């Protein structure tokens, strides 16, 4: 099985979130996909096979299957465009149908996904309090303009918005405790965010549910967060930019276009960095 290794949402020729991509005539069985994802060791590996004029796609972390992964979708889009040329590719996920657009501009490869529909609801004080305690934060560390919420854009996340960049940089937690909490609550990641301006955010994404301490770029959480800002009536001006992974030395850049219709799909885009010769040859 040939696994391509592509860093999605890169910052030029550095950073980004590595993902495995496997493109075949048919999907392996779930146990084999789980084994390969664990062997690859990236936060997610996407498996894709042709189906009905589109592509059937499943995503696996090293420890479990997830319903949707943004950065692995961007990586898949980059692999598809290098194999088939610029275009929009229909993807059939476990719980939704979406598209990814891939395009080359000289040596640069970029992709944009259309997320599943978004929705959000306030987090209970008990849930928010337990999450704050996990990271050693106090209620006074939160940005009152963006209250804690459960957000969805293909997968479920909890968002905690912090009122200082220093608090975000200080993020630390126990992986096993975080994994127990996130799996119990059905959370794929917890998104920690700081608003530098109304349209520029710094984020961090603990991914303990999948056995990963932190993700350097998280497209699914970005889509969910953009949908939540729309629900809040946040002055986003139609789009936001996100810098993620900076505190772990893997600076990544994500862009989200936010249409006005509540609950509608979010377009998340970024560049992709090819990590090895097999990706170059795809």
Q: Which residues are catalytic?
A: 44
Closest CA to 272 of 110, 145, 132: 110
What the block records as the tokens of 3 is 């696994």
Count the residues in the chain: 282
What the block records as the tokens of 206 is 């603990």
What distance, in Å, lies between the first and last C-alpha atoms of the chain? 14
Q: Please give the Cα distance from 7 to 175 (Å, whole number).
A: 24
Q: Please give the Cα distance from 15 to 216 (Å, whole number).
A: 8
Q: Which helix (H) or strand (E) holds 66?
A: strand 65-66
User: What backbone phi and psi angles, to 5 degrees, belong to 87?
Assistant: 170, 175
Q: Please give the Cα distance from 256 to 236 (Å, whole number).
A: 10
């Amino acid at each position: 099985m040939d696994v391509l290794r592509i860093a999605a949402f890169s910052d030029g020729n550095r950073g980004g979130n590595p993902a495995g991509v496997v493109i075949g005539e048919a999907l392996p069985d779930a146990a084999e996909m789980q084994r390969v994802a664990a062997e690859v060791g990236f936060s997610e590996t996407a498996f894709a096979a042709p189906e009905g004029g589109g592509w059937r796609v499943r995503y696996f972390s090293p420890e479990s299957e997830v319903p949707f992964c943004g950065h692995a979708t961007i990586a898949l889009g980059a692999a598809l465009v290098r194999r088939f040329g610029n275009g929009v590719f229909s993807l059939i996920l476990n719980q939704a149908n979406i598209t990814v657009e891939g395009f080359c501009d000289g040596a640069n490869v970029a992709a944009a996904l259309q997320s599943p529909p978004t929705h959000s609801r306030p987090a209970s004080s008990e849930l928010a309090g337990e999450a704050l305690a996990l990271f050693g934060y106090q209620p006074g560390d939160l940005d009152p303009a963006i209250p804690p919420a459960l957000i969805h854009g293909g997968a479920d996340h909890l968002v905690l918005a912090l009122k200082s960049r220093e608090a975000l940089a200080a993020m630390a937690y126990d992986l096993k405790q975080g994994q127990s909490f996130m799996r119990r609550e059905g959370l794929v990641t917890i998104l920690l965010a700081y608003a530098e301006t109304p349209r520029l955010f710094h984020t961090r994404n603990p991914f303990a549910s999948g056995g990963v301490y932190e993700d350097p770029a998280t497209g699914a959480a970005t889509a969910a967060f953009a949908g939540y800002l729309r629900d809040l009536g946040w002055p986003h001006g139609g789009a936001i930019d996100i810098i993620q992974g900076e505190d772990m030395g893997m600076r990544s850049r994500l862009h989200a276009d936010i249409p006005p219709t509540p609950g509608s799909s979010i377009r998340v885009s970024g560049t992709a960095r090819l990590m090895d010769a097999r990706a170059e040859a795809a």
